[in-house]
Chain A
Amino acid sequence: MKEEIHRLNCYVENKPGVLARIVGLISGRGYNIQTLSVGPTEDGTVSRMKIDVVGDDKVIRQIILQLNNQVNVIEVTSRRRA
């Protein structure tokens, strides 16, 4: 399968340790994060993480499922980056 850059949009509870948890989950499995940005949303209790990762569809799907299993993750969406 083809390796491509995927942009994950991850909405998470704004709590201590969440960033480390998300980043650890991706990097701990050997996937390289290309860019990462974290910012607030209008709802101050929710942060939005934009994560670019390289991988084939299967890998990305697995990462999304694992992210969704996290207790502090509200929603994850993804799209291929052109």
Chain B
Amino acid sequence: MKKQTTQQATGAQTLVDSLAKAGTEVLFGYPGGSVLDIFNCLPEAPFQFILGRHEQGCVHMADGYARAKGKPGVCLVTSGPGATNTITGLATAHMDGVPIVCITGQVPMDQIGTDAFQEADMTGICRAVTKHSFLVQSADEIPETVAEAFYIATHGKPGPVVIDIPKNVQRAFTSAQYPERVSLRAYHPESTASSSQMARFAKLVNEAKRPVIYAGGGVIASGAAKDVANLAHRAQIPVATTLMGLGAFDENDPLALRLAGMHGSAAANYAINESDLIIALGVRFSDRVTGKLAAYAKRAKIIHVDCDPASIGKNVPVNLGIVADVKDVLTTVNSRIKSAEHAAWLAKIAEWMKRRPVTYKPMHPNVIMPQAVIEAVDKVTKGRAVIVTDVGQHQMWSAQFFRHNLPRHFLSSGGMGTMGFGIPAAIGAAIARPDHTTVAICGDGGAQMTFEELVVAVEHKLPVTFIVINNACLGMVRQWQELFYGKRYSGSILSVRGRMANERLEQDLKYDYLPDLTKLAEAHGADAYRVIDPAKLDATIRKAINSGRTSFVEVIVEPRANVYPMQPGGQPVEGMIFE
């Protein structure tokens, strides 16, 4: 260890200063032995610290913060179990291209490789679920590494970056300063469209008879929602969105086809199927959207614009692939798009919308339909709330039954489908956007995975309403078992009633809704409500949301409800089922 001189600071202090220089306003974290030196510097830090209750929760909070704000989320955890607990959170952010900088403590360098207490090879473990990772070997490297981590997290396709810092490095002294600018020798992700590509883009659009815009999360990341609307309106082109793209186009617009894919609208999937030109913007043609690849969009030419060169041509061959920022491309191309009517095409689409609307039927007069919960929230918030979902049926109903109309207002784990995302991500989003109403929509299964984070919202008096759509089952799994596994509900029922014989439970009718989620929310300090009666649904949701307090609404819903339409995995569009 070097001797301290007046201009020097510890690695830990230098890290905190560097995070501040990088623009950190909020740090989500959880302490432990290997990061005590850093925590010791936090009380004087210029940014807010938020104490999560599980490291996975901390990363999801940073993730929700980043998705809502469009700036990197930052978190700090200890070595070993603290670091390994972040993996699901990092993978979730990695799949959806969310910028996160995650600092993990590490055992002192002379103990690395000795199976020291709370040692885990974090850079090894996280390799496949991060965009990049650093193991810092000297305090002098800290400022530059932080600057590089923020640069990498936010440039090219965004993603999570881990900085692993051994304890002795945190305690060493350095006079290294935060760099003025970052220049990475080997990483230059910026790429722009050539003028001939732009010209071909315009020509293909101007010649198309049945064009469809297919917009994804890349549109939101690039801030191009207005430009997409501009393109759509210039030439009357209908717009379908991916789950990650919801909010990239106003669903109140007559040109909105809404969600495409496995649980997408019939209009969106039929339009893609019959289109002669798909204008794919900031998407990656995920298998949840394409279904059977060989049958996907057979009649269409495809223009694909994305910032990730590896996503172009990966799943679907394209006629014109452009590696560039969506907004940059549209800013130039839009002025070359001729106005068009596409009247026959739009009439055909209108017919599909009429024949196959996104809708549902009540199943029992006294039982709340889960879709009605989403409609009630949409009505109460007038479609302006930031909606954060967990994963399962309720996620798909949220995608289908909200009228999405603003970018960064629908936050959901798309690529990874991580249960447990909803509660912490909503907390991160509410911290990022204190001016907005935030509503989390969770399932009873997923809510139990990260319920402990609820207390963070309560402590910080966040005006978040957490809604749990309680169907007493892992609904999405139950649905697949109903449709494809002969109604054998193995492992998917959460009530005691209806469990499989090999679970060896007494079928005791007393325990249909365990744990008592409303009481649990109360125990965490939230205003908690349970709704069973359909007549009380709207009023309860209104009361909770308008209270401006941390509130929790458990809605007991029809357990047999399924998500339709559905284009089962690997099927062509003709395989769509509606009920």
Contact = CB atoms under 8 A, between A and B. Distances in A.
A68 B314 CA distance: 15
B113 interface: no
B309 A71 contact: no
A44 to B, nearest CB: 13
B314 A62 contact: yes
A21 B127 contact: yes
A73 interface: yes
Nearest to A58: B313
B90 to A, nearest CB: 15
Contacts of A78: none
Interface in A47-74: 61-62, 65-66, 68-74
Interface stretch (B3-11, B184-192, B252-260, B278-286): B184-192
B156 interface: yes
B128 interface: yes
Contacts of A61: 313
Contact of A13 (B128, B156, B186, B310): B186
A28 interface: yes
B308 interface: yes
B152 interface: yes
Contacts of B132: 70-71
A82 interface: no
Contacts of B367: none
Contacts of B127: 20-21, 24
Given A62-B310, A65-B310, A69-B156, A20 B184 contact: no
Given A69-B156, A73-B186, A74-B186, A17 B309 contact: no
A16 interface: yes
A8 interface: no
Contact of A72 (B157, B186, B309, B313): B186
B308 to A, nearest CB: 7
Given A65-B310, A68-B309, A69-B310, A12 B186 contact: yes
Contacts of B187: 71-72
B135 A13 contact: no
A74 to B, nearest CB: 4
A41 to B, nearest CB: 13
B124 interface: yes
Interface in A13-39: 13, 16-17, 20-21, 24, 28
Interface residues of B, number: 22
A28 B135 contact: no
Nearest to B185: A13
A66 B135 contact: no
Contacts of B540: none
B123 interface: yes
Contact of A65 (B133, B184, B309): B309
Contacts of B309: 65, 68-69
Nearest to A24: B127
Nearest to A66: B310
Contacts of A62: 310, 314
Contacts of A69: 156-157, 189, 308-310
- For B186, B187, B309, which residue has the most chain A Cβ atoms within 10 angstroms? B186
A63 to B, nearest CB: 9
Interface string B26-62: 0000000000000000000000000000000000000
A17 B135 contact: yes
A24 B308 contact: no
Contacts of A65: 309-310
A70 B156 CA distance: 11
Nearest to A29: B128
A4 B382 CA distance: 58
Given A17-B135, A21-B127, A28-B128, A71 B184 contact: yes
Given A17-B123, A65-B310, A69-B310, A24 B186 contact: no
B314 A71 contact: no
Contacts of B184: 71
B135 A71 contact: no
A13 B184 CA distance: 10
Contacts of B308: 69
Contact of A24 (B128, B135, B152, B314): B128
Nearest to B131: A71
- For A17, A20, A71, A72, which residue has the most chain B Cβ atoms within 10 angstroms? A71
Nearest to B124: A20
A9 to B, nearest CB: 15
A65 B309 CA distance: 7
Nearest to A17: B123
Nearest to B313: A61
A27 B277 CA distance: 36
Contacts of B157: 69
Nearest to B310: A65
Contacts of A72: 186-187
B135 A16 contact: yes
B415 to A, nearest CB: 16
B286 to A, nearest CB: 15
A38 B133 CA distance: 21
Contacts of B133: 17
Nearest to B314: A62
Contacts of B314: 62
Nearest to A28: B128
B68 to A, nearest CB: 26
Interface of A: 12-13, 16-17, 20-21, 24, 28, 61-62, 65-66, 68-74
Given A71-B152, A72-B186, 6 more contacts: A17-B135, A69-B189, A69-B309, A71-B186, A72-B187, A74-B186
11 contacts: A16-B135, A17-B123, A20-B124, A20-B127, A61-B313, A62-B314, A65-B309, A66-B310, A71-B132, A71-B186, A74-B185
Closest 9 CB pairs of A and B: A65-B310, A74-B186, A71-B187, A71-B132, A66-B310, A65-B309, A24-B127, A28-B128, A13-B186
Interface of B: 123-124, 127-128, 131-133, 135, 137, 152, 156-157, 184-187, 189, 308-310, 313-314
